């Protein structure tokens, strides 16, 4: 099975209790289970991780680049200002799909800018947890 990292940034570990009107009531454990089950169905070995630490997220992106591992990335708030994360993503050696549970463009003005989108393979947003499913399908379809 082809390995894939599903990486999640700050506050995503609080899914289910964090702004349920925006992010829903499903938990991070539910998301993890969905990603692994979807991966298995697509022939992918999915490793789901979450951190509130920018440095740790960057290390995981470096790990993916060094091993040519595709990534599904929800950078959380780092989306809007982390040029360090953007620079790490620019070193990618396999597909990297930026995902968001909500649609950032339908929310506050500061969420409309993604500093990482320009170095990602693509972006999927606004489909709830299905955004992750669509990203995993895209990675499976690339065959890289």
Q: What is the pLDDT of residue 73?
A: 98
| Region 2-142: CATH code | 3.40.50.9100
Instruction: Clarify whether 100 is annotated catalytic.
Output: yes
Q: What is the pLDDT of residue 143?
A: 66
Q: What is the pLDDT of residue 22?
A: 66
pTM for the structure as a whole = 0.92
- Which parts of the chain sit beneath pLDDT 50? none
Q: What is the pLDDT of residue 112?
A: 67
Q: Which long-range contacts (CB under 8 A, 24 or more apart) does 136-139 make?
A: 136/4, 136/6, 136/35, 136/38, 136/39, 136/42, 136/44, 136/46, 136/72, 137/38, 137/42, 138/95, 138/97, 139/4, 139/44, 139/70, 139/72, 139/95, 139/97
Q: Where are the domains of the chain?
A: 2-142
Of residues 100, 105, 112, 132, which has the active-site annotation?
A: 100
CA distance 9 to 84: 14
Instruction: Clarify whether 83 is annotated catalytic.
Output: no
Report the percent of the chain where pLDDT is more than 70.
92
Q: What is the pLDDT of residue 25?
A: 75
């Amino acid at each position: 099975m082809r390995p894939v990292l599903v990486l999640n940034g700050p506050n995503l570990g609080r899914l289910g209790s964090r702004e349920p009107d925006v992010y829903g009531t499903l938990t991070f454990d539910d998301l993890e289970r969905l990603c692994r089950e979807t991966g298995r169905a697509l022939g992918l070995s999915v490793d789901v991780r979450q951190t509130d630490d920018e440095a740790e997220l960057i290390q995981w992106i470096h790990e993916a680049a060094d091993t040519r591992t595709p990534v599904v990335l929800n950078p959380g708030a780092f989306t809007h200002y982390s040029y360090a994360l953007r620079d790490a993503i620019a070193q990618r050696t396999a597909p990297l799909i930026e995902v968001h549970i909500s649609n950032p463009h339908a929310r506050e003005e500061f969420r409309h800018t993604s500093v990482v989108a320009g170095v990602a393979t693509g972006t999927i947003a606004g489909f709830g947890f299905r955004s992750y499913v669509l990203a995993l399908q895209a990675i499976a379809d690339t065959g890289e």
